[in-house]
Amino acid sequence: MNKKNLISITDFSKEEYLKIMELSRYFEENPNQSLLKGKVIATLFFEPSTRTRLSFETAISRLGGKIIGFSDSNSSSVSKGETLHDTIKMVSNYADLIIMRHPLEGSARYAAEVSDVPVINAGDGANQHPSQTLLDLYSIMKTQGKLDNINLFLVGDLKYGRTVHSLLMAMSQFENPIFNFVAPPELAMPDEYKLFLRQKGIRYFEHLEFNDIINQADIIYMTRVQKERFIDPVEYEKVKNVYILKNEMLAQTKPNMRILHPLPRINEIHTNVDSNPKAYYFTQALNGVYTRMAIISHLLNLK
């Protein structure tokens, strides 16, 4: 069967990113559809989620489709020892599309190889989270009016944060991005991504602090320190509060600067930022519904 998956953000071309932006805008303006009438979509979450699962399920409902799946793999036969291979093989008999989150890097690519129907990676370990990236692009496009010439600050856990890896790859497709990586050495952007940028001739800078340069940012993308990826809890304790963005730090930022965060946050954005018009993270999460409607429509070629 000729099927298209979304496993890595690089599975889509720049033209497809732009098509998703256009479709997202359409679905934001026309959210109630029947394009998925008669179709069944499976959401298989082997790891916890609030936004990704619920916004995908909202997107499916808004498109008129039906949902099967689980939000806790302990309630499935995985708890009896069923393999990922067999789970995916079975579910691809039942559903027209599979959306999966799994803790193992590479699991989504493996699922796509096994499945007879398209697979969307809803996060595989510290690797990729491409649907998050597309909603991040949509959020940047909506707030900045463009995706070219963006000065993007990525702050926090750049080692384990899969959303920043996917976002870096996507933004590198646009004209003249500048990346500012703000992280302690333990959580620095992995070398493979820095090598990728160097090979493309894209500028990036690494910082331990960002108070003095925050006025350069178009987008500040805060991230949570990913406690669940640390092998040693003592190492997590050392870095868990490394950056806390506070309202008083925003006084000199550009008028159109916006703060994004894939959420959930722990305490890396103080709640006193929430009422600042530059705080965009809750609207960003809402944008996920429209972008996920667009992704599903694109993969299933819904007219």
- Chain residues in the site for ligand CP (CB under 6 A): 49-52, 123, 132, 262-264
* Contact assessment for residue 188 and residue 180, using Cβ atoms and an 8 Å cutoff: no
Q: Which CB atom, from 50 or from 256, has the smaller least distance to ligand CP? A: 50
Q: Which is nearer to ligand CP, 190 or 264 (CB)?
A: 264
Closest by alpha carbon to 121, among 105, 135, 136, 139? Answer: 105
How far is it, in rounded angstroms, from Cα 207 to Cα 273?
A: 22
Cα–Cα distance for residue pair 273/259, rounded to 1 Å: 9
We find the least distance from the C-beta atom of residue 220 to ligand CP, in angstroms, to be 16
Q: Which residues are known catalytic residues?
A: 51-52, 80, 101, 129
Find the radius of gyration of the CA atoms of the chain: 19
Nearer to ligand CP, 167 or 239 (CB): 167
| Cβ 129 to ligand CP shortest distance, Å | 6
Q: Closer CB to ligand CP, residue 169 or residue 263?
A: 263
Residue 189 to residue 43: CA distance in whole angstroms: 30
In angstroms, the first-to-last Cα distance of the chain is: 19
Min separation Cβ 46 and ligand CP, Å? 12
- Candidates 117, 105, 115; CA nearest to 85 is 115
Comparing CB distances to ligand CP, the nearer of 205 and 282 is: 282
CB of 100 to ligand CP, least distance (A): 13
Query: What's phi and psi for 96, nearest 5 deg?
Result: -90, -15
Q: Least distance from C-beta 120 to ligand CP, angstroms? A: 13
Q: Which residues contact 157 (CB under 8 A, 6 or more apart)?
A: 183, 187, 223, 224, 225, 226, 239
Of 122 and 197, which has the nearer Cβ to ligand CP? 122
Query: C-alpha 277: how far from its chain's center?
Result: 22
Question: How many whole angstroms separate alpha carbon 260 and alpha carbon 280?
Answer: 6
Shortest CB 264 distance to ligand CP, Å: 6
Closest CA to 156 of 272, 284, 268: 268
